[in-house]
Structure 1
Amino acid sequence: MIITVIAFAIYGGISYLMYTKVRHYGSLVLFQFVVISILSTLMGHIIDLYNEQRKREQEIEELKVKNLQSRYDALTNQINPHFFFNSLNGLTSLIRKKNNEETLTYVNKLSDVFRYILQSDKKGLVTLAEELTFVNAFRYMMEVRFANKLEYHIEIDKNVLSQKVPVLSILPLLDNVVVHNMIDSNHKMIIDIFINKNNELVISNPVYPKLSPAETNGTGLNNLESRFLLLMGQQIRVESKGSVFNVYLPLGQSI
């Protein structure tokens, strides 16, 4: 409004000196002034509304990010207690056997595993190479715990090791294999980890259902799916063929 008044004051003064013989000139200038003032006011109001909307959208987006981070932290933290108690079973078995050297190696691997887990709250996505390094430490612990009854076959091309996955993606899947299946001399468990043609990380295992249902709240796969949606915007795939159980994890872009 102020800019319009000043501009029309100058315009009106110059025009009056140049066109003093035009009838009703003052009314014409006044009409133009009113029209331009209304348009300027509406334009200013629209700009204010747009800025306010943008501000609100930014605030909502910030709240969403904070909410997603809180949910992700909560989902990740649910992994730790479950894994902790399962790990102690293997350590207890070695202590009873009084194999000090193997027990020491087991403790070192357990330390590596827990260091990775404790640092996971500072990470979102990690390279597949980092995740597999963790898996190798976990693998040793599980193979010791189940002697020759559990094996891991890992075949990953070096070209995909730089691609990304949410931290601790593989742990709940490996843990679920132990929780939901019989593993003994008659039911040898072989877990295959490989990359398929769709550039998905596949974790595959035979199914040997326990005689009694496992005591679990069933949140492992749901949590994993939620973390992939939160961090990568992609969904995991679960495929149960009766005798084989497969989980497909999408990989992110290379770092």
Structure 2
Amino acid sequence: MEKLNDKWFRLIGIPLIALLGDWIFYDEINRQHGQSFWLDVGVGVIESSLLWTIARFGIIHSRRRFPALNQTRQRIGFQIVWFFVTTALFRFLTSFLYDMTQFWGYHYPPMRYVYNIAAGIFCVIPIAAIYEGIYLYRQWKVTYYEAEELKKINLQTQLESLKEQVKPHFLFNSLNTLQGLVLEDEKQKAVSFIGNLSHVYRYLLQSNEQPLISLERELDFVRSYIDLLKTRFENGLNLLIEIDPVLLDYQLPPLTLQMLVENAVKHNVVSSTRPLTIRIYTDMAYNLIILNNLQQKKTAVPSNKTGLVNISAKYRLMNQPDIVIQQTQFHFQVIVSLLKSETV
């Protein structure tokens, strides 16, 4: 939670509340008893400062306890109870002190206590409304701009994914593989290859229209994507999927697995003599883990890590745990959280 930066609000608000409070509620009765106006205002400033500090403490505590935009009702409810209880207690004690000492030159009847408590609450309400209004506006502003940024990242991911798939070398490799299957009279493999290619493009076009997609659909797509790659790499590429069936309905940003699989193939040697094995599995903490053996190419492949950056940004903008990237001498691993639909 950000710091409550209200220095100028207090410097202006406290004297203003003291002046208005004295003029509206106490000026007439104090003049009847010969009290100085400036004494009234001076005491009012002291009381207003104390009452403002007490109210401010409640506001800070309520924001720490209920900080989110969807917790506005709880936060306001907490503040209402806090303001009424603390203001009533504070005004009762000050009224009792004035009554016992006859500070203002007269005794306080019971209704005077009620009047003072009501006056204190009347002064606190606009202060609290201004604080909460500013807080809600800032929260709405942050939420709005985060949503806009998420839209931009989704669009960027979509464009990057499409660009990666339609760029010349991918089309050349795909068509070259298909030509080889036809020339070798591998009709069944050619039909399967065309089906997988169609599935890949259809998924790329449809999935990017939504922020989240089920793990089951993402895995179905990745199998088709891997089959395309296996047609090219054959026994050089292996995919192991070990998913708890209970988690298939959980969700993640679309194309997360595709980008991670693509990243593994792009940066590692893939051959029948040195096969690349990609393992996709889940753990007890509802995490999805993508692990591959590390056998980096001798010539580093240029990369701006757009895939990992986009995945990480999406999770952060949804207020979810960031992805975890771990690399050892032999393995490269990425851990992403699986989400229930109601958590986002």
Aligned to 2:178: 94
Whether 1:195 aligns to 2:267 is no
Whether the aligned pair in 2 keeps the contact of 1:125 and 1:231 (CA below 8 Å) is no
The residue number in structure 1 matching 2:246 is 159
Is the contact made by 2:323 and 2:337 (CA closer than 8 Å) also made in structure 1?
Answer: yes
Matched, 1:62 2:144: yes
Report the CA distance shift for 1:105/1:232 in structure 2 as closer, same or farther (over 3 A). Answer: farther
**Pairwise mapping of residues 201-240 of structure 1 onto structure 2 (< 5 A)?**
201-231=288-318, 233-240=320-327
Structure 1 residue runs of 4+, over 3 Å off? 24-28, 38-52, 83-87
Q: Which residue of 2 aligns with 1:75?
A: 157
Q: Letter of the aligned partner of 1:49 in structure 2?
A: I
Over 3 Å counting, the alpha-carbon distance change for 1:129 and 1:54 in structure 2 is same
How has the CA–CA distance of structure 1 residues 162 and 100 changed in structure 2, closer, same or farther, with 3 Å as cutoff? same
Alpha-carbon separation, structure 2, partners of 1:197 and 1:63: 34
TM-score when normalising by structure 2: 0.58
Shift of 1:169: 1.0
Partner Cα separation in structure 1 for residue 170 and residue 200 of structure 2? 10
Moved more, 180-189 or 227-236: 227-236
TM-score by length of 1: 0.76
CA shift for structure 1 position 127: 1.4
Shift of 1:242: 1.1
Could you tell me how far apart the structure 2 residues matched to 1:141 and 1:25 are?
90
Structure 1 spans left out of the alignment, 5+ residues: 1-7, 13-23
SS at match of 2:322: coil
Partners of 1:239 and 1:246 within 8 A in 2: yes
Distance in 2 (CA, whole Å) between partners of 1:54 and 1:241 is 45
State the SS of the aligned residue for 2:334.
strand
Taking the aligned partners of 1:212 and 1:190, their CA distance within structure 2 comes to 20
Q: Is the 8 A contact 1:90 1:144 kept in 2?
A: no
1:140 aligns with 2:224: no
Flag the structure with higher helix content.
2
1:15 matched residue in structure 2: none
Alpha-carbon distance change, 143 to 47 in structure 1, aligned in 2, over 3 angstroms = same
| 1:183 partnered with 2:183 | no
Unaligned 5+ residue runs, structure 2? 1-24, 38-43, 45-115
Percent of residue pairs bearing the same amino acid type: 25
Deviation at residue 194 of structure 1 after TM alignment: 1.1
In 2, the alpha carbon distance for the partners of 1:185 and 1:25 equals 97
